[in-house]
Amino acid sequence: MMKKRRLIPAILAAALLAGCTSPLSKEEKKVVTQDKDDSQSTIVPNTVTEGKYYRTLLPYKESASRGLIVSNIYSNYDIQEAEQGLTRISRNVYDPDEYFFQEGQYLDKETVQSWLARRNQSAEGLNPSDKGMSPTERAKKAPVYLAHIIEQDYLKQSGSNKVKLAGISIGLALNSVYYYQKEDYGATYDEPIPDATLNAEGKKIAEKVVKRLRGMDGLANVPITIGLYKQSARGDIVPGTYIAYAEVGEGKSTISDWKNVSEKYLQFPMSNPEDKYREVNDNFIAFKEKIDSYFTNSANIIGTGYYTQDRMQSLKIKIPIKFYGSSEITGFTQYAASEVVKQFPKDLKVEVSITSVNGPEALIVKKSGESETFVHLYNE
């Protein structure tokens, strides 16, 4: 069964909350933010959204290092996952019912850039020195491990009408592949970085980052959560994932324990799937064949499965279309929604995005445990 929605469903609206602001309403109240500069008046929405999303302070403060992630991370898939994955980790530490989210305010562009440099390029550089090395030697012995640093701040209400910084999360985006040229304007070569090496080097960098944070004004006693993100290779259409994270208690400057993160993204369809992925791959192929046989104007249907502990949590499907009439788009969406219910298990969350050269055309969402879909047609 399909439920049609002309407004964006709550599940999508909630996902957009972290970047949205809104006028003051009766469900919002003013509090005073205590930061490293001065106290200021702000607005805190009381509404708690579905899915344990964090509330944000208004007016919204952009990251002090805003813009760097676009140039430091290979793809939009990794940009999104590096940020959202860090928020998921943070939910294990900072309860969304008690904490408010704010983009990082302590690590500015200049600081991040100096930390990302090689040691022979900057005294603050966290990447290994390549002094005197040839390009090939550099790739083998001293690749750039650290690609970017993400900061997220978590504030908690304290006393009457006040909030203060109560936790900080840091994501260290690490390269899984090092790309280099043997000569200017020459061919680009790639050197994969072994997982064990990446893990070890990432943890060494994390220790240094924690010590540096402790020396910054306002961060001496704030709990720190730090995660290691392994970004995908260039050209991949699925993102990387966090591989480990650690919690550092108030006033502590060393990491005593790391927790492994068992997450991964897989692309569908697979040409030769392992047995544990065969069933969902068959389901996806059946869905794709139904769409292809009914409408000839769809192409390149791709799915991305999200797994935790080797268990599939959700499947996102992208369908680019070449339709031009609104009736044709509506008919296609209705058919696709019915096939989502028929082809995929009831306990699997499925989201289908239908796009054309004009942009988004429709969104289909089937929640886990439900046998009906919610549909939004963007142009109706």
Residues 6+ apart with CB under 8 A from 8: 363, 376
Same domain, 220 and 273: no
Which regions of the chain does DSSP assign to beta strands (E)?
2-5, 28-34, 39-45, 55-56, 99-103, 146-157, 162-175, 177-181, 188-192, 224-231, 241-248, 259-260, 263-268, 302-308, 311-320, 349-356, 359-366, 373-377
Distant-in-sequence, close-in-space partners of 271: CB < 8 Å, separation ≥ 6: none
Residue 328 has pLDDT above 60, yes or no: yes
Q: Which of 239, 261, 283 is the last residue of a domain?
A: 261
Query: Who wins on pLDDT, 38 or 224?
Result: 224
Using CA atoms of 172, 66, 224, 251 in order, give the dihedral in degrees to the nearest 10: 120
Domain contains 60: yes
364 CB-near residues (< 8 Å, 6+ apart): 333, 336, 337, 340, 350, 351, 352, 354, 373, 374, 375
For residues 319 and 324, give the distance between their C-alpha atoms in angstroms, rounded to a whole number: 15
Question: CATH number of the domain that 286 lies in?
Answer: 3.30.300.190
- Could you tell me which residue, 347 or 324, shows the higher pLDDT? 347
Q: Report how far residue 309's alpha carbon sits from residue 265's, in angstroms, rounded to the nearest whole number.
A: 12
| 186 and 317 assigned to the same domain | no
Sign of CA dihedral 97, 98, 100, 104: negative
- 25 within domain boundaries: no
Angle at CA of residue 144, ends 140 and 145, nearest 5°: 100
Q: Is residue 30 part of a domain?
A: no
Band of residue 45 on the pLDDT scale cut at 50, 70, 90: low
Q: Which two tokens stand for residue 322?
A: 């070449």
Name the domain boundary from 244, 261, 278.
261
| Pair 44, 181 in one domain | yes
**205, 240, 261 — which closes off a domain?**
261
256-293 residue pLDDT tens: 999 999 999 999 999 999 999 999 999 999 999 999 88
Residues 209-251: tens digit of each pLDDT: 999 999 999 999 999 999 999 999 999 999 999 999 999 999 9
With beta carbons less than 8 A apart as the criterion, state whether 76 and 31 touch.
no
Q: How many CA atoms lie within 13 A of 285 on its CB side?
A: 11
Taking residues 47-54, what's their average pLDDT? 65
User: Rounded distance, CA 55 to CA 18, Å?
Assistant: 7
Are both 184 and 140 inside the same structural domain? yes
d(C-alpha 350, C-alpha 371), whole Å = 11
Indicate the pairing of strand 99-103 with strand 146-157.
Answer: antiparallel
Structure tokens at 305: 């499965």
- Over residues 69-92, the pLDDT tens digits come to 988 998 999 999 999 999 999 999
Domain count, the chain: 2
Q: In angstroms, rounded to a whole number, what is the distance separating the alpha carbons of residues 322 and 219?
A: 53
Provide the token pair at 333. Answer: 């969406």
Torsion of CA 207, 212, 215, 221, to 10 degrees: -50
> Distance from CA of residue 26 to its chain's centroid?
32
Sign of the alpha-carbon torsion through 207, 211, 217, 223: positive
pLDDT tens track for 135-158:
999 999 999 999 999 999 999 987
DSSP characters for 20-44? ------TTEEEEEEE-SS-EEEEEE
What single DSSP character describes residue 17? G
Domain co-membership, 115 together with 48: yes
Mean predicted lDDT score pLDDT of the chain: 87
Contact assessment for residue 361 and residue 343, using Cβ atoms and an 8 Å cutoff? no
Measure the CA–CA gap between 8 and 248, rounded to whole angstroms.
Answer: 39
222 plus 318 within the same structural domain: no
Q: Are residues 101 and 234 located together in one domain of the fold? A: yes
Residue 84 lies in a domain: yes
Cα–Cα distances (Å) from 40 to 36, 74, 105, in that order, read 11, 37, 15
Residues 301, 242: one domain? no
Asked if the structure places residue 290 within a domain, the reply is: yes
Residue with more model confidence, 118 or 38: 118
- Cβ atoms of residues 237 and 302 within 8 Å: yes
Residue at token pair 């994969």? 192
Residues 242 and 281 in one domain: no
The string of pLDDT tens digits covering residues 5-22 is: 444 343 333 333 333 333
Give yes or no: residues 223 and 279 share one domain.
no
Range(s) of the domain holding residue 112? 40-261
Residues sharing a CB contact under 8 Å with residue 329, sequence separation 6 or more, in sequence order? 321, 323, 354, 356, 361, 362, 377, 379
